[in-house]
Copies of this chain bind each other. A is one copy, B any other.
């Protein structure tokens, strides 16, 4: 709770600085995001939040996600299905590997690949501003005696 409360408080001061208000709905959605350990979409966030406050509307979820994103409080990702998914932004940068059988999303980070991307952009005459990197894979089968089947 302490951790979640700290994030909510942090965000409240950010809002103040932008002349925006901390509403019940924003508090609620922020709490749902802070407690999530996955990458829910708007409907998923709505479902979780609606369970705690059945007066919440889906419109407000969408609006709130834009506010949260513009304040840098969350990150938005659209994997292969094109649906926007969200996660809290107070973690170091990482990319995602998606299990194509289960849909599970696994986070990883690699300084080597980050550096390599910067270098590639530089060789093309560009400064790298951001990137999207998603790996789609299938669980390796445990090795069998006699090697690969």
A contact residues vs B (CB 8 Å cutoff)? 78, 80, 82, 97, 99-100, 106, 108, 110, 112-113, 116-117, 120-122, 124-140
Contact = CB atoms under 8 A, between A and B. Distances in A.
Contacts of A132: 80, 132-134, 136
> What's the number of copies of this chain in the assembled complex?
2
Nearest to A100: B129
Contact of A117 (B99, B126, B130, B135): B135
Contacts of A117: 113, 133, 135
B135 A128 contact: yes
The residue among A78, A120, A139 with the most chain B CB atoms within 10 A of its own CB is A120
Contacts of A127: 137-140
A78 B121 CA distance: 20
Contacts of A138: 126-127, 129
Contacts of A135: 117, 120-121, 126, 128, 131
